[in-house]
Structure 1
Amino acid sequence: MGKEVKTNAVRILERNKVPYELLTYECDEFIDGIHSAEATGTPVAQTYKTLVMQGKSKKYYVFVIPIAEEVDLKAAARAVSEKSVEMIHVKDLTAITGYVRGGCSPLGMKKAFPTVIDASARQYSEIYVSGGRIGTSIRLDPQDLARVVRATFADILARP
């Protein structure tokens, strides 16, 4: 098989026959999304990060937003019918999702959590998300991503 990386995210896309492109870049430790976009030459506006939050009900949720943006916590809570949501602690990320910071993909987490993709993704025919390991990104159609992870689209970005 050579050096090709097969993450859970890639396996899920292949199992669902979703067209994608896996991009890799040299990186030994966490770098933020803007630097990973620069490393792969992907457009910052089309590169999305994966945030994991916990609602007041103690349920976990996944939010996928553009890397240069911030999430509006009230809008995110409304999108999942919670009173409030808050980011989980980084130290809990691996135990909850199976992923590490900087390699957290909306695809292939330990469990299928309710997922919301920011509505801005609809304007693109392709977006970039983490490939499930530091140093990997996946290019795919946001509609395909939504279908595979059973996500909804909502306006969840903080407005200045």
Structure 2
Amino acid sequence: MSQTNVARLLKQSDIAFDLLSYPVDEQDLSAQNVARKINYPLSSIFKTLVLETDQKQHVFAVISGEEELNLKAAALALSTKKVQLVPMNDLKKLTGYIRGGVAPIGAKKKFPVLLSDQVTGQPFMIISAGKRGFQIKLAPDDFLTFTNGILFTNR
């Protein structure tokens, strides 16, 4: 199976994970579609959004496929006044990843990671493996440890 940068980095750190693959539909890169294709509940699929704070700092916000990002909650968790989504055209330049394949691990630069507290109590979470058509399934605690992530309440 094709290795992704995310899989390689997790393996180097001895973090247990499963690499899942699915056929990509360029017209529908949604978490709902990914959940359907890999046959996991939407609540276990986590999407990665890239935010910019009012101080021009970049941050990964990782939220459940069932959630919409609450920008005020993200700003509060980051102790900043305001955050906004990074324009889609800037994703590759900032992270090295394209839409539908953005991962909070292995990006060009290390950004702080916020993880929705919706993950609490879940035995695993599934995130992009950094390439369309690939997802990584791992324990939330391992994800938080690896990324130095911060749990936040996305409400």
Distance 1:28 1:118 in 2: 26
1:70-125 Cα distance to aligned partner (Å, 9 max, x none):
11111100111111000000000000011000011111111110111001112101
Residue 39 of structure 1 corresponds to: 37
Alignment partner for residue 8 of structure 2, among 6, 11, 18? Answer: 11
Number of aligned residue pairs? 154
Matched residues in 2 for 1:84 and 1:26: separation? Answer: 37
Q: What SS does the aligned partner of 2:48 have? A: strand
Q: Is the 8 A contact 1:51 1:64 kept in 2?
A: yes
Instruction: Encode CA deviations 1:36-70: one digit per residue, 9 max, x unaligned.
Output: 11000011111110010000000001100011211
SS in structure 2 of the partner of residue 123 of structure 1: coil
Distance 1:16 1:122 in 2: 23
**Aligned residue in 2 for 1:77:** 75
**Post-superposition, which runs of at least 4 consecutive aligned residues in structure 1 deviate over 2 A?**
none
Determine the structure 1 residue equivalent to 2:102: 104
* 1:139 paired residue number: 137
- C-alpha RMSD of the superposition: 1.0
1:26 to 23, 38, 45: 23
Task: Please tell me the residue identity of whatever aligns with 1:147.
Answer: T
Deviation at 1:11, TM superposition (A): 1.1
Q: CA deviation at 1:28?
A: 5.2
Query: Which TM-score applies when normalising by structure 2?
Result: 0.96
Q: Larger deviation: 95-104 or 27-36?
A: 27-36
Instruction: Tell me which of 53, 56, 59 is aligned to 2:57.
Output: 59
TM-score normalised by length of structure 1:
0.93
Cα deviation, 1:118-149, whole Å, max 9, x if unaligned, reads 01112101011111100011110011001111
* Unaligned stretches of 5+ residues in structure 1: none
User: Which consecutive residues of structure 2, in runs of 5 or more, have no partner in the other structure?
Assistant: none
Q: Matched residues, percent identical?
A: 32
Counterpart in the other structure of 2:86? 88
